Structure 1
Amino acid sequence: MATLLYKMSSLLTNIHECAGISKDSGKTYLISGNYKYYHYLCDGFDDRGWGCGYRTLQTICSWMSDNQDYDVKVPSIREIQEILVQLEDKPAAFVGSRQWIGSFEVCLVIDKLYDVPCKIIHVNHGDDLKTVVDALVSHFEKFGSPLMMGGDVDASSKGIVGIHVGKSGASLLVVDPHYVGKQQSSEFLFNKGWVKWQRLSDFLSSSFYNICLPQVKAKCKSS
C-alpha cells in the first residue's frame, strides 16, 4: 500500500466553525483562537487504532503555538513519547511503542513544553457528565483553550472545543482525531461526523471520563 504523505501546512484550521451552534435553544461557549486539526496518518505516520490521544494533544499544541508566545513546534508522536520517558512517567521501552496516552499524559506534556498547568476533571460515569457542565462553561469563558477528553470503556480520546447548554440538556462540540484520509474541507468532516455536537446523554454511561483543561488564555503573539 502506498504511503500516505500530507504536508503539515495543509492541515485544516478551526474545523468546528462549520458546525455552527447547537440547534437547541440556549447558550453556546466556544474556544478562543486558532488550532490545526491533527488526526490519524495526517503526517504520514500510521497510528491507526492507538494514536488518538497523541493527535488530540497535537491539536492542543497547535493552539498553544498559534495563540501564545511560545517558540515550540508541535511535537511528533515519537517526541511526545520521549518527553514522557524523560519525565519518568513511562519506561524507556515506551518510545517507539503503540501504547496509547490519556488525559493525564497530555497534562504532563503540556506542562513540560509550555509551562502551562492543566486541571483534570474525573467523572466516574458518563451519566455524571452533567455535573461538570458549569466547570466546562467556566473554562471556556475564562480560558478558551481546547480540552482533551478520554475514558476507559469509551477509550476514544477526543478534543472538545465548545459546550452548548440548552433547555433539553448540554452538548459538547467534539473534534474527533480518528479520521483517516486527505483533508478535504471542514464541511466534509462535519458531514461525516468527525466534528459534531454530541449530547452528554450520548456518552457511554458505563465509562469513566477524564478531561484535561489547560489553564491558559488565548492571546495575541508579540509582533
Structure 2
Amino acid sequence: MVVMVTKEVACVPSQLERRELKGFDAEGGLWIVNVKKKWATWLLISLQPKSKLGEENGIPQLPLDTKDLLFRIKGGIELEGVINKTDEEGIKAGFSEAINELIAKVNSQAFGLSDLESPLYIWPKTHTSTRSSRLREDTQCKAILKYVLAEVSELLRKASKKKFLRVVPLKVINLEIHFEMTRPEHLQKIVVQHNKMPCIHFKLTLPIDVVVFANPEEPWGKVQDQFVEAVTAQLSAMDKCIQRYTNGKTVPMPQAFHFELPEKTTLTTVIYPAGISDANLEQQRKELHAELGLDNKPFLRRTMAYLFPSDEVKSLYLRNIHKYIPAPDPDEFKVSLVHGLYTFHHCLQDYENDSDWGGLYRCLQVVISWFNLQGYIDKPVPTLRELQNMLSAISYKFFSHVIMKEWLEPEAMNALLDIFNISCTTMEVQANKPMDFSSHFEEQGTPVVISKFVIFSEPEAYILLGFAVNEDPKASKGLILNIMYTGIDDFSWIIEKAIEWKGEEFWKELDDYGLWLPQRPEGV
C-alpha cells in the first residue's frame, strides 16, 4: 500500500522572515503570539486536554497536541537507469532497479541536506554537519533553531498584541536534498559492454517531499537517522506507485501529498501518480480508507492536501475558521461538525457593495467551496459577479432580479446550484419547530444554508457548520457562520463577530426560515 504515516502533529503555520524570528526561544521553547489583525489558517491555539474545551483567564483556547518540530525535506532526486526489455514488465523492472540504486545512495555518506537560508550543511548518515561541534549526536534537536530559519505563519507576523487568543505557531524547518559528488562511494565507474540486445537509457527527476516530526528534546543523531529512513520510505512508495500505474510504455511521475485525518494529530503521506484523475484513483483511496479506518467520506483527495507555509499566499480566503473556537463541553453535548474543508465568504468581500442583498450569493460561495475542496467539482468558487452573470444567462426573469439587486429567491438559488450539479434537500421551517441537524452532519457533512426572508423585515442568511445536542432539546446549540458579516478579513474580528455557537434564541429570532441541505455524492 502506497502510504506513510508520520509521527503525530496538530497543525502547520506559515512563513516568517528571518528578521521576524526574534520572538522565538532559540532553544525551541514555545513562542506565544497575541492575534488581532489577521486570520489564522495555520494557528495552533492552546488549551488543556483534547477532551476539554473552555477558558482560562477569560481567553478562549483550543487543544495543542504537539510541541514537535516539523522538518520538511524536499528536492529533486535524479533517477537514472537502463531498460533492457521494452515491454511493460521490463520497464517496471528497469525503474525498480534504478530506485533501489537511488535508495543505496540515500543511505550513503554522499546524502546531504542543507538550509537555503543559512550555511548549515548536514550529512545524516555520518551524523556530521558544518556545525558538528555544536550539533552533536546527543544534542537536543531543538538546538538546530540557532542555525536555521524556522518558518511560521506570515499571518502571525502582522498580528497585533491584542490579548484575544493565545496561539502557538508550530516551527517548520525546510531542508533541501543534495548529493556530494566527491564521496568515494558516489564515484561512478565507466563500464564498456558489448550487448546486441536493444536497451533504453532513461533519466528523470523525482520530486521528493518528506515530512519528519521530532520532539524538541530528541537526540540530534536519532533525528538524522529518521531523515534517512523517511526519504528511503518515500522512494520505496514511489516505486510502488510506478509499478501500479505504469501502463504499457507510459510511466507516471509519482507525487507526494500530505493529509490531515480526523481525530488524529497526524500527517499522512500518500503517493499519487501525476496525470491520473482523482476519479481513476478511487480504488487506491478505498484501500487506504480500509487500512486507515476511515469512513465513507473524502479524506485523501488531492484537493484536500495539507497547506504548508509556502502555500499560504495562494489562499485568498480563510479556511475552516470554526476550528479556532471552543466547542460545547463534550461531556455534556454530542457534537457533530461539518466534514472537510470550506472557505469563508461574506458580504462586502472583494470590494462588492452587497450587504443588503448578497447574503445567499455568499452562502452559495461557501457551499461551492466545500464541493470544490472535497474534489467533487472542478469548477472554482465563482465571484459574486460571476454568479450574477450565470443567473442572468438562465432566464430574463432572473436577469431582472440581478439588475434590481434583489435578494435571491429559492428558484434562483436552486438554478445556481444546478449549474454546479449540487443536489440539495430543501425545506421551510417554522421558528417554533425544533430541528436536530446531527444526522445531517454525521451522514452528509456539508454546510447547511439558512435563509430568513419575511415580508417587511430585513432578510438574513447564515451557514450552519455544526450541531450540539444533549438530553434537553431546548439546550441544543448550532454553530452559526454569519454570512451577513461586513467587517474586514481579520482573524480576531471574525472569531468575535462572525462565528458562534448559538442556542434556542437564535432560532426563535429567525421566525420562519428556509433550509438548503446539500447532499454529497457517493464515493471517497
TM-score (norm 1): 0.81
Counterpart check, 1:26 vs 2:333: yes
Structure 1 residues 36 and 16: alpha-carbon distance in aligned structure 2, compared to 1, 3 A threshold: same
Match in the other structure for 1:183: 489
Deviation at 1:13, TM superposition (A): 0.7
Deviation at 1:202, TM superposition (A): 2.8
Q: Which of 361, 371, 375 does residue 64 from structure 1 map onto?
A: 371
Match in the other structure for 2:461: 157
Mark the structure with the bigger radius of gyration: 2
**Greater RCO, 1 or 2 (C-alpha within 8 Å, sep 6+):** 1
Structure 1 residues 97 and 74: alpha-carbon distance in aligned structure 2, compared to 1, 3 A threshold: farther
Q: Which of 479, 498, 507 does residue 203 from structure 1 map onto?
A: 507
Post-superposition CA distance 1:56-77 (Å, at most 9, x none): 1111111111112422021222
Secondary structure (helix, strand or coil) at the match of 1:144 reads coil
Following superposition of structure 1 onto structure 2, how do residues 82-93 of structure 1 map, counting pairs within 5 Å?
82-88=389-395, 90-93=397-400
Secondary structure (helix, strand or coil) at the match of 1:64 reads helix
Counterpart check, 1:44 vs 2:361: no
Q: Matches of 1:181 and 1:202 in 2, distance apart? A: 21
Structure 1 residues 12 and 206: alpha-carbon distance in aligned structure 2, compared to 1, 3 A threshold: closer
Secondary structure (helix, strand or coil) at the match of 1:161 reads strand
Structure 1 residues 121 and 181: alpha-carbon distance in aligned structure 2, compared to 1, 3 A threshold: same
Deviation at 1:219, TM superposition (A): 7.0
Following superposition of structure 1 onto structure 2, how do residues 2-151 of structure 1 map, counting pairs within 5 Å?
9-23=315-329, 25-88=332-395, 90-102=397-409, 105-113=412-420, 115-123=421-429, 125-128=430-433, 130=434, 132-133=435-436, 136-151=437-452
Q: Matches of 1:97 and 1:66 in 2, distance apart? A: 32
Identity of aligned residues (%): 25
Q: Matches of 2:510 and 2:401 in 1, distance apart? A: 29
Q: Matches of 1:146 and 1:219 in 2, distance apart? A: 18
Deviation at 1:183, TM superposition (A): 1.3
Secondary structure (helix, strand or coil) at the match of 1:157 reads strand
Contact 2:422 2:518 in 1 (8 A): yes
Post-superposition CA distance 1:102-131 (Å, at most 9, x none): 555433322221x221101211x2111x1x
Match in the other structure for 2:179: none
Contact 1:103 1:148 in 2 (8 A): no
Q: Matches of 1:150 and 1:29 in 2, distance apart? A: 21
Structure 1 residues 206 and 40: alpha-carbon distance in aligned structure 2, compared to 1, 3 A threshold: closer
Structure 1 residues 36 and 61: alpha-carbon distance in aligned structure 2, compared to 1, 3 A threshold: same
Match in the other structure for 2:520: 216
Q: Which moved more, 1:139-148 or 1:85-94?
A: 85-94
Q: Matches of 2:495 and 2:522 in 1, distance apart? A: 25
Secondary structure (helix, strand or coil) at the match of 1:140 reads helix
Displaced runs of 4 or more, over 6 A: none
- Total equivalences in the alignment: 206
Contact 2:341 2:374 in 1 (8 A): yes
Structure 1 residues 202 and 70: alpha-carbon distance in aligned structure 2, compared to 1, 3 A threshold: closer
- Matching residue's letter, 1:146: P
Structure 1 residues 146 and 219: alpha-carbon distance in aligned structure 2, compared to 1, 3 A threshold: farther
Q: Matches of 1:209 and 1:174 in 2, distance apart? A: 14
Post-superposition CA distance 1:135-175 (Å, at most 9, x none): x2221111101010012347211111111112442111111
- Matching residue's letter, 2:494: L
- Matching residue's letter, 1:34: L
Q: Which of 166, 187, 191 does residue 470 from structure 2 map onto?
A: 166
Deviation at 1:81, TM superposition (A): 2.7
Contact 1:150 1:157 in 2 (8 A): yes
Secondary structure (helix, strand or coil) at the match of 2:432 reads helix
Structure 1 residues 28 and 39: alpha-carbon distance in aligned structure 2, compared to 1, 3 A threshold: same
Secondary structure (helix, strand or coil) at the match of 2:416 reads helix
Q: Matches of 1:20 and 1:174 in 2, distance apart? A: 13
Structure 1 residues 200 and 155: alpha-carbon distance in aligned structure 2, compared to 1, 3 A threshold: farther
TM-score (norm 2): 0.37
